[in-house]
Chains A and B, each alone.
Chain A
């Protein structure tokens, strides 16, 4: 009965989707669909483009829904999906890298490059979160971090090869108009194989619901089964993404809605998720078609999907019942060395690196180590100071958030404050046409405080649910990517200065801006250090902290405001620098086990050191080309995190 309702609504949506594309009269359309020879241009378009696009929307939607359901059931993680696990960013990176490094091969075999990138992303998330972490928040946090890192790398390719990579913008914006029958002849078999394979696995997936251990105990060869199902889900995702570009939220929401609609068994959920995915994408794409007709520019499904998906996700999660997630604070520290000695060594390293940043430069290819001229000094000190101060601010925010969320993988990017700042700036520049220099400060401040406000509201509505806190970040990241891709797709030049800023740039920072950042950041650090004891107790859990006299209802918003302000101020000055707020606290804990106060000090010093070094490397490594500081820092920090965490698990 429910199956019939699903099929009927699919058919209705497909017809609506076709109607949006101005088809020939109904009778003639039906004849054409059944194989009549097209007589004029409009009929050729109907057969070859409109019908193909409608089919593609249904097929790609079903693939994403199925992939999402497979991932969620396999990992037993209701937030797992191609977008949240960073797989979509991996596919995008694979295709951009291919287009820049081997254009001919990438044009012919895009799907292989996308699949390669998707597998890379999946493997990185697995390495960071670990097998146990895949079922919970760690996988989502790792996915977010990997997504940021691979997205930053892809952005670097676009920046360095702007003219060539620009046209990929349309693909990255998720344009279903690019699907042809030739694509579909590849996609349809993949979907059918995936669907049949998934149904064949449904018994094993049901067994998995009892837990990995029970499933193994009852004879499920998990070591074989899990990778096969995982790769199948990645294959479905990569094929869909290679054909029409990344479309967020379908793979995440379709299984969730299927469960909400009463699909209880594993088999039912797989079928319903595929059907709902198809329906969702048909609806989304119909909106995109109508909007492109209205607007003077191309509007894509990839841009519409987050606009619809993000609010739906928030509604769904707010309704989710269930207790506080089991998460425990495991510190990675193995050493117990005196904090003071390590802090002094870090400070010495920071001083040395500052000297390097001020004295070492490159001119016309050759290195020079000399006292800088007054002019050179005037260029070097503000960017060095801004980089170090931003590094400190992000590190403090990361330390606070990791303890607040009781998760060592949390970072300032996850809570969406930096995403909100970036979104504000991109919106002002691309849509309102304000110059980047004028827009950066006010728009970033407004965006960051809006995101922070939403975060505080959500935290009040669902106290203690870390998924909810991760949610603004997730939604904003998807919105940001979609808007940027549209900017690239539209073909103006503004988007390239934006990309430079988004990758974290100290270029526009003059002396006053660097001093202002430092002046705003120092009181935040002092305040955090004064409240460090609350942080220690909150790390034990909210109830434990309350029992020991921490005013939890006050402490949580205070710490969120501190972390949000630090991130917002840093982002407004230098743009995005992902991974610094994640890696710095991690390195601090690796150096020594200590209380929150000691960790905060070490983390701040590490963050400053990381950013200062990154800025100096970015300025000199590829001279005369300058790499954005945030990009270099993300590469340093990201590589460290992946290597350190996967080695530790051995």
Chain B
């Protein structure tokens, strides 16, 4: 890493989680990777018009980046190989966001603060984080109240297809959101780099208590929900499976808040009256 003296004017960012965080700090990059993909999968906050597309995340277009004459380039995981080539264009900062050896959620907060310091936005970042903590603490309390002081355990999953699930376990942003809401993971998984484990849907049948929240989209929904095995699942019979709208699960500190908001909303709606 090199040291940066003044707040950078033109920054190129090649990772979606970093893009998301810059935008929420009010910093508009001059170039960002795969803008179409970002708008489909990350969605919030939107990339303003006029930001230049620098190609796919795993195949950045060096010449396009150079033509933007940035004074800083930000890289994420799996982009370390590009550092020596991009350093010819501008100083490069490479962040390790997701790693088996560290706490992804804690690192996402320190990354957010590091980014803020770089752009002289410390005050905004601290305010945003404390507002986040306050908001989630309030939701945690509301949940506890709604469930009579005994909030349910929750499993967060995404359907890979009609047969397999991705289960968000230790070191995932989803589990961090659960913990921030004072909830326990109903289906714990060993920690891993991305906090994600692929399991057969059948294993969901072993889940006796707790709620299951699945992140949309689910294209095979009709076929899956009509199947006898699905209908016989204990969690399904108890009507404890709920959808949450498409949400990016490899995001930064504030996206933990977005996930937590959705989780709290669904659980409050499902709470016993």
Q: Among residues 19 to 62 in chain A, which have CB atoms less than 8 Å away from a CB atom of chain B?
A: 38, 40-42, 44-45, 47-49
Residue of A48, A103, A492, A499 touching B193 (CB-CB under 8 A): A492
Is B164 touching A175 in the complex (CB atoms < 8 A)?
yes
Is B78 touching A497 in the complex (CB atoms < 8 A)?
yes
Tell yes or no: B273 within 8 A of A by CB.
no
Contact residues in A for B219 (Cβ distance below 8 Å): 103-104, 107
- Contact residue range for chain B? 35 or more
Contact residues in B for A492 (Cβ distance below 8 Å): 193-194, 196
Contact residues in A for B192 (Cβ distance below 8 Å): 296
Max chain B CB contacts within 10 Å: which of A104, A182, A364, A628? Answer: A364
Is B164 touching A624 in the complex (CB atoms < 8 A)?
no
Tell yes or no: B126 within 8 A of A by CB.
no
Contact residues in B for A177 (Cβ distance below 8 Å): 163-164, 200, 202
Contact with A along B163-204 (1 / 0, CB 8 A): 110100000000000000000000001101110111110100
Contact residues in A for B95 (Cβ distance below 8 Å): none
Residue of B nearest to A490 (CB): B198
Q: Which of A130-138, A145-153, A159-167 contacts B (4 or more CB under 8 A)?
A: A159-167
Is A44 touching B228 in the complex (CB atoms < 8 A)?
yes
Q: Among residues 19 to 67 in chain B, which have CB atoms less than 8 Å away from a CB atom of chain A?
A: 37, 40-41, 52-64, 66-67
Contact residues in A for B85 (Cβ distance below 8 Å): 379, 508, 510
Residue of B nearest to A379 (CB): B62
Is B228 touching A507 in the complex (CB atoms < 8 A)?
no
Tell yes or no: B161 within 8 A of A by CB.
yes
A489 to B196, CA, bound (A): 11
Tell yes or no: B77 within 8 A of A by CB.
yes
Is B232 touching A45 in the complex (CB atoms < 8 A)?
yes
Is A510 touching B80 in the complex (CB atoms < 8 A)?
no
Is A298 touching B164 in the complex (CB atoms < 8 A)?
yes
A159 to B59, CA, bound (A): 10
Residue of B nearest to A492 (CB): B194
Contact residues in B for A175 (Cβ distance below 8 Å): 163-164
Is A296 touching B189 in the complex (CB atoms < 8 A)?
yes
Is B56 touching A170 in the complex (CB atoms < 8 A)?
no
| Given A107-B220, A296-B197, A364-B52, A508:B82 Cβ within 8 A | yes
Q: Among residues 67 to 94 in chain B, which have CB atoms less than 8 Å away from a CB atom of chain A?
A: 67, 77-78, 80-82, 84-85, 88-89
Tell yes or no: B2 within 8 A of A by CB.
no
Is B164 touching A436 in the complex (CB atoms < 8 A)?
no
Is A626 touching B78 in the complex (CB atoms < 8 A)?
no
Tell yes or no: B233 within 8 A of A by CB.
yes
| Given A178-B163, A298-B199, A625:B63 Cβ within 8 A | no
Residue of A170, A364, A493 touching B163 (CB-CB under 8 A): A170
Tell yes or no: A185 within 8 A of B by CB.
no
Is A170 touching B54 in the complex (CB atoms < 8 A)?
no
A362 to B219, CA, bound (A): 38
Contact residues in A for B200 (Cβ distance below 8 Å): 177, 292, 298
Tell yes or no: B234 within 8 A of A by CB.
yes
User: How many whole Å from B84's CB to the nearest CB in chain A?
Assistant: 6
Residue of A170, A361, A493 touching B198 (CB-CB under 8 A): A170
Is A626 touching B55 in the complex (CB atoms < 8 A)?
yes
A298 to B166, CA, bound (A): 10
Is A178 touching B162 in the complex (CB atoms < 8 A)?
yes
Contact with B along A271-305 (1 / 0, CB 8 A): 00000000000000000000010001110000000
| Given A435-B81, A497-B58, A363:B163 Cβ within 8 A | no
User: How many whole Å from A29's CB to the nearest CB in chain B?
Assistant: 16
Tell yes or no: A206 within 8 A of B by CB.
no
Contact residues in B for A624 (Cβ distance below 8 Å): 52-55, 61, 64
Contact with B along A474-501 (1 / 0, CB 8 A): 0000000000000001111110110110
Tell yes or no: B4 within 8 A of A by CB.
no
Contact residues in B for A490 (Cβ distance below 8 Å): 196, 198
Is A163 touching B78 in the complex (CB atoms < 8 A)?
no
Is A44 touching B52 in the complex (CB atoms < 8 A)?
no
Contact residues in A for B146 (Cβ distance below 8 Å): none
User: How many whole Å from A495's CB to the nearest CB in chain B?
Assistant: 10
Contact with A along B199-242 (1 / 0, CB 8 A): 11010010000000000000110010001110111100000000
Tell yes or no: B244 within 8 A of A by CB.
no
In order of increasing CB-CB distance, the 6 nearest A-B pairs are A437-B81, A44-B232, A178-B163, A624-B55, A624-B61, A298-B198
Known: A375-B88, A499-B58. 6 other contacts (CB 8 A): A41-B232, A44-B232, A298-B198, A493-B194, A508-B82, A624-B52
Sample (20) of A-B pairs whose CB atoms are under 8 Å apart: A42-B205, A44-B228, A44-B229, A44-B232, A45-B202, A107-B219, A159-B58, A170-B164, A171-B161, A298-B198, A375-B88, A379-B62, A491-B198, A493-B77, A496-B57, A508-B82, A510-B85, A624-B52, A624-B54, A626-B61
Q: A residues within 8 Å of B by Cβ?
A: 38, 40-42, 44-45, 47-49, 103-104, 107, 159-160, 162-163, 167, 170-171, 175, 177-178, 180, 182, 292, 296-298, 361-364, 373, 375-376, 378-380, 433, 435-437, 489-494, 496-497, 499-500, 505, 507-508, 510, 623-626, 628
